[in-house]
Every structure is written in structure tokens, then in C-alpha cells.
């Protein structure tokens, strides 16, 4: 924390140290005022207005400086804490965007939300009292030194009380640390289950499983409640003990001090100073308590945040550019379910990838879209290994559409342009026309300004797919990768879309297809079996020479007919 925001920490610590120094100094000032001003006036039975005004001015001056110190300490602490949280949240989101799809598949969205919210809050929570607690250590050391300077017997009282505070803090931290780790983990589970419930609300209602889902959520919340209550029980004995020790110390100082006064070894001024020093320790000791009380939860949150930040990124981009036609070539690619896959997609050509469920069709599309790095072999685009291309070059050259498109809760125009430069309304309408989406967009209440709802909820499945296709086309890619991206569209419209794509821009197209009209339009078909290329050729050639291919398309036809 200190290294990340040194200036803000310096402001907070400077203010805290000023308060600490003035707190110790004020004990001596008050002792002097009581012994040299107030007590003599009481003895004489007469008030000296001038002397009293000087004493009041001294006390007010000390208080004014303490106000300045408190202001600096708190302002610096707030800025420090909020700056840390903002920085960590930006780091986490930036990290999310750099992590490979496999990592996201293994980590539910709710857990990611918890990392960026409650875990960051927990990790930065000590920043609010960090500077004050550090300055309090100086206060404790200064107060102990001052007590020995006043009288060695009073110093011994401090030697007994202060280690007792440290012992209580250590016992408390050791007790609650595992409970805080558990609570942060359960918070993530609760957030994940809540997010899942929101996303699956329609399914839950249609299946009549509201009570079941509510019971699942209640069980998780109950477990979180129990863990937090156990932490509260620990604090229930910790806080009173921390509050009581300084008070017991003050009583001990008064008893020992009165005995030393009777012996003549101590005066009223010294006794008042010593008692006030112990009285001053109440709030600083609370500050240490706040810090140490927050540390176990902070450590748990920081561990969960660090787990994200240290996760290995997706393979880095290079610096190469694509020049000339963007021919796609798989050269003996092996990864996950694929083994020794080789084929090419020439510029302006349409290649359909066909195979039974689990044959590796989506893996081919993911590798082509650089979402899944090959473990062996290479993928070349325009003769350049895609791993060597820069991110900007790849984004300009390749557009990828999954079967389930994602739309932002924004207007049609914003979803198509994504704020990319050079895309005016004419370019938007042109892309919509090729995607066979211009008709339904014109019929929307506000046309291009119509908000499509969260994830495109205001549109049908086919409309969402066509709008996502228009988004990809608006950037004029040289390679278009469609992973069954028109499956929700009418077969006739699907054929019109593919024909329009070929006529409009002539990009190389790799299409994962599951319907005969789309397959028949392809210039070449890559037939996969068990993650390997079983055959390649035109639709007619495979129908004539591959029994497995014929049976697969017959199954597709039966599914469409049903």
C-alpha cells in the first residue's frame, strides 16, 4: 500500500505523527497548567485572569494544531484507500481481459464479480487506519518513555500494560484469520449463486423450481451468516479487553502515583501528566485494534485478488502485420480435441467445417479466432503465424462470431459500431443489409437508436445473431469465422446471408455449419471425425464418397424436419 501511493501515505502519516506528538506534548502542558496555574489559584482562592488566558491560549493552540493533524490524517487515509481500490479494480478488469477463455470457463462470473468488489474492499480496508496505527506505535513508545521520565514506577505500569495489548492483538488475529478467509470464499459463492439465479430466472420459473433455488441461496447465505457471527463473537471479547486495559492502566497509575506522592518522589504535575498519558491511549489503541481487526480479512481478500493477478495470461501478441490476401491455413494443428488438422481457406472462398457432436468443430473455430492456442502445428494468416501478429492487425483482419452472440444494453447503432472510428450510419446500414438485419431494424420503434436490452433481450435469437453478424461485417474483415453463428436464423435467410457475404465483401469464410443449405453453399467442406480431418472436398464429392458424411447430413435433415 505504501509503495503504491507514497505521497498520500506521507500526508496521512504526517498528520498522524503531528497528532501523536501533540498528544504527548499536551499531557505535559495540561500537567503544567494544573500544577502551576489551576492549583495555585485554588490555594489562593483568587483567579488570575491573565495567567488563565495564557494557559487557555496554550491549550487552544495545541488543539488547533491537532485539528490540522487529524484533518490531514483522515483526508490522506480516505484518498489512500479509495485510490488503492480504484487501482486494484482496474488491474483486475484489465487482467480479466488478458486471461484465456479456458480460465474464464473454470471461474464463474459471480466469483469474478466478488474478486472485483468485496475482495478489493477487504484488501484495501486497512488503509483507512494504517497511518494512524503506525503513528500510534510511536505514541506508545513515546508514552512509555515519558512515563519513565516522569517516574520509573509509572514506567513499570506501562511495561506491564502495553505487552498485554500486543498479546491480545496476536491472539485475536490468529483466531479470526481462518474465519475471514472462509467468509471471503463464501461471499464469492453467494455472489456466484445470485448471478446464476438472475441469469437463469426464466428457466427457474418455467421449471417451477423457485423454492429449490431459494433454498440453495438461503443455505449459502446462512453459512455466510454463521461465519460472520463467529467473527463477531471473537470481536465481542477482543474490543472490551482492548478498551479496558488502558483504563486499568490509568487506575494503576493513580494508585501507584498517589503512593509515590506520599513518599515525596512525585508531584501533582507529574502525576497529572502520567494519568493523562494513559487516558490519551484509548483512541490510538482503538486504531491499532481497527487495523489488526481488519488485517485477517484484508489478507484473505488480498490472497483472492492476487490469485487473479498472477494467473498466466493468454499467449501474447506479436508485432507483425497482415499484408495482401488473408488466406487461412491450418498446418498440422493439434490441441485439446484436435489432432493433426490441416486445411486452407483461400481469400473469397467459403469453407464449411462439418462433423458430429464432439468432433472438434468449435475447437477449429476457436483456434482460427486465436481463442485457443495450438499445442502443436501452426495457424497461418496471410502466410504469417497468428501468434506473431499484433493485436490491432488481428482485430482488423479477423472477425469471430460464436453461436450465442453477446449484445450490450445499448442502442442498435452502438452495438454495431462499438465506437470504432470511421463507422457512420451509412456503413452501419450497409452491414445490416448484408446480415439481412436492416428490415427488422427499420421496424424497431427508434430504428438505430432502439435499445436492445440486456444481452439483447428485446430481440429474438435470430435477430441477435444477425445484429452480431452486422457488427463483425462493419469492420470489413478479411477472414470471417462463424461458429454456427446463424443457427437461430431461418434456413432460407441463412442461405441469403451467406450468399450476400460472398457477393458483398468477398472475405475468406470459415463456417461451422449444421444445416444442409449452408453446407451446400460452401466451396469446400472439411469433414471431421474424432478430432481429425476424415475428408475434404465439395459437398457433392463428399456426398458421393463418404458414407459417414451422408449419414450426418441425413441426421441434420431429420432434425430440421422435426
For residue 37, the tally of other CB atoms under 10 A from its CB is: 17
198-218 burial code (b ≥16 CB/10 A, e <16): eeeeeebeeeeeeeebeeeee
Q: Are strands 376-381 and 338-345 parallel, antiparallel or unpaired?
A: unpaired
**Cβ–Cβ < 8 Å for 379, 386:** yes
DSSP letter at 411 equals B
pLDDT recorded at residue 419: 85
CA torsion angle for 404, 350, 347, 435 (degrees, to 10)? -50
pLDDT recorded at residue 31: 64
At 44-86, the pLDDT tens digits run 666 666 776 777 777 777 778 778 877 887 888 888 888 888 8
Cα separations in angstroms, 333 against 244, 525, 532: 71, 18, 10
DSSP letter at 315 equals P
pLDDT recorded at residue 342: 92
Q: Which helix (H) or strand (E) holds 350?
A: strand 350-355
Helix ranges (H only) for 107-151 are 109-114, 120-124, 127-150
- Across the beta sheet with 384-385, the strand order is 338-345, 328-335, 376-381, 384-385
DSSP letter at 118 equals I
Per-10-residue mean pLDDT of the chain, 562 residues long, equals: 84 82 70 67 68 73 78 83 88 85 76 81 81 78 75 73 72 77 80 75 71 84 87 78 72 76 72 70 67 76 85 77 80 88 88 88 88 87 85 84 84 88 87 86 88 82 86 86 76 74 72 80 88 89 86 78 60
Q: Scanning the structure block, which residue is given the C-alpha cell 450510419?
A: 425
pLDDT recorded at residue 421: 84
**Cβ–Cβ < 8 Å for 118, 301:** yes
d(Cα 32, Cα 377) in Å, to the nearest integer? 85
At 171-227, the pLDDT tens digits run 777 777 778 778 877 887 787 787 777 777 766 776 677 788 888 888 888 888 888
Helix (H, G, I), strand (E, B) or coil at 332: strand
Beta bridge partners of 398: 479
d(Cα 452, Cα 14) in Å, to the nearest integer? 53
d(Cα 290, Cα 132) in Å, to the nearest integer? 10
Here the cell at position 68 is 490540522
Q: Are strands 524-529 and 532-537 parallel, antiparallel or unpaired?
A: antiparallel
Cα separations in angstroms, 12 against 72, 179, 329, 468, 481: 6, 30, 59, 50, 55
pLDDT recorded at residue 396: 83
d(Cα 464, Cα 469) in Å, to the nearest integer? 9
**Rg of the chain on CA atoms, in Å:** 36
The string of DSSP codes covering 247-260 is HHHHHHHHHHHHHH
**Cβ–Cβ < 8 Å for 146, 27:** yes
Q: Which helix (H) or strand (E) holds 537?
A: strand 532-537
pLDDT recorded at residue 343: 92
What pTM did the predictor assign?
0.65
pLDDT recorded at residue 37: 66
Terminal alpha carbon distance of the chain? 63
Helix (H, G, I), strand (E, B) or coil at 384: strand
Beta bridge partners of 376: 334
Q: Which helix (H) or strand (E) holds 526?
A: strand 524-529
Helix (H, G, I), strand (E, B) or coil at 110: helix
pLDDT recorded at residue 330: 92
d(Cα 369, Cα 480) in Å, to the nearest integer? 9
Helix (H, G, I), strand (E, B) or coil at 512: strand
Which of 552, 487, 550, 501 is CA-nearest to residue 356?
552
Amino acid at each position: 500500500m505504501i509503495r503504491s501511493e507514497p505521497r498520500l501515505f506521507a500526508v496521512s502519516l504526517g498528520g498522524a505523527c503531528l497528532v501523536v506528538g501533540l498528544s504527548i506534548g499536551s499531557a505535559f502542558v495540561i500537567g503544567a497548567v494544573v500544577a502551576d496555574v489551576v492549583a495555585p489559584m485554588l490555594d489562593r482562592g483568587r483567579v488570575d485572569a491573565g495567567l488563565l488566558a495564557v494557559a487557555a491560549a496554550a491549550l487552544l493552540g495545541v488543539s488547533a494544531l491537532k485539528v490540522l493533524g487529524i484533518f490531514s490524517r483522515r483526508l490522506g487515509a480516505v484518498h489512500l484507500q479509495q485510490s488503492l481500490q480504484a487501482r486494484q479494480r482496474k488491474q483486475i478488469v484489465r487482467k480479466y481481459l488478458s486471461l484465456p477463455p479456458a480460465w474464464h470457463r473454470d471461474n464463474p462470473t459471480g466469483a469474478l464479480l466478488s474478486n472485483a468488489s468485496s475482495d478489493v474492499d477487504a484488501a484495501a480496508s486497512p488503509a483507512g487506519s494504517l497511518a494512524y496505527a503506525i503513528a500510534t506505535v510511536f505514541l506508545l513508545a513515546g508514552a512509555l518513555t515519558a512515563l519513565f521520565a516522569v517516574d520509573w514506577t509509572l514506567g513499570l505500569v506501562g511495561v506491564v500494560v502495553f505487552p498485554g495489548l500486543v498479546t491480545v492483538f496476536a491472539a485475536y488475529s490468529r483466531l479470526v484469520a481462518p474465519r475471514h478467509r472462509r467468509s471471503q470464499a463464501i461471499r464469492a459463492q453467494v455472489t456466484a449463486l445470485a448471478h446464476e439465479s438472475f441469469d437463469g430466472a426464466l428457466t427457474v420459473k418455467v421449471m417451477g423450481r423457485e423454492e429449490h433455488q431459494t433454498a440453495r441461496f438461503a443455505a449459502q447465505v446462512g453459512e455466510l451468516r454463521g461465519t460472520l457471527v463467529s467473527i463477531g463473537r471473537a470481536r465481542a471479547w477482543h474490543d472490551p479487553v482492548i478498551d479496558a486495559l488502558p483504563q486499568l492502566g490509568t487506575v494503576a497509575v493513580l494508585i501507584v502515583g498517589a503512593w509515590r506522592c506520599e513518599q515525596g518522589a512525585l508531584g501533582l504535575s507529574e502525576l497529572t501528566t502520567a494519568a493523562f498519558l494513559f487516558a490519551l491511549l484509548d483512541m490510538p489503541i482503538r486504531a491499532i485494534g481497527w487495523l489488526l481487526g481488519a488485517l485477517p480479512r484484508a489478507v484473505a481478500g488480498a490472497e483472492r485478488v492476487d490469485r487473479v493477478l498472477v494467473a498466466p495470461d493468454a499467449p501474447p501478441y506479436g508485432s507483425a502485420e497482415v499484408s495482401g490476401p488473408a488466406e487461412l491455413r491450418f498446418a498440422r494443428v493439434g490441441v485439446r480435441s484436435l489432432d493433426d488438422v490441416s486445411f486452407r481457406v483461400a481469400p473469397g472462398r467459403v469453407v464449411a467445417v462439418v462433423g458430429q457432436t464432439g468432433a472438434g468443430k468449435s475447437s477449429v473455430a476457436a483456434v482460427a479466432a486465436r481463442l485457443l492456442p495450438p499445442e502443436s502445428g501452426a495457424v497461418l494468416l496471410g502466410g504469417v503465424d497468428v501468434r506473431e501478429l499484433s493485436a490491432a492487425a488481428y482485430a482488423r483482419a479477423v472477425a469471430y462470431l460464436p453461436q450465442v452472440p453477446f449484445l450490450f444494453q445499448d442502442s442498435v447503432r452502438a452495438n454495431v459500431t462499438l465506437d470504432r472510428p470511421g463507422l457512420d450510419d451509412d456503413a452501419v446500414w450497409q452491414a445490416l443489409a448484408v446480415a439481412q438485419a436492416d428490415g427488422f431494424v427499420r421496424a424497431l420503434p427508434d430504428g438505430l437508436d432502439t435499445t436492445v436490452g440486456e444481452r439483447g433481450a428485446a430481440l429474438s435469437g435470430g435477430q441477435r445473431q444477425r445484429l452480431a453478424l452486422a457488427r463483425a461485417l462493419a469492420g470489413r474483415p478479411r477472414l470471417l469465422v462463424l461458429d454456427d453463428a446463424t443457427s437461430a436464423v431461418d434456413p432460407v435467410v441463412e442461405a441469403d446471408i451467406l450468399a450476400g457475404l460472398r457477393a458483398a465483401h468477398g472475405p475468406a469464410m470459415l463456417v461451422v455449419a449444421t444445416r444442409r443449405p449452408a453446407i451446400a453453399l460452401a466451396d469446400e467442406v472439411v469433414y471431421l471425425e474424432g478430432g481429425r480431418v476424415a475428408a475434404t472436398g465439395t459437398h457433392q464429392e463428399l456426398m458421393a464418397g463418404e458414407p459417414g458424411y451422408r449419414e450426418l447430413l441425413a441426421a441434420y435433415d431429420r432434425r430440421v424436419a422435426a
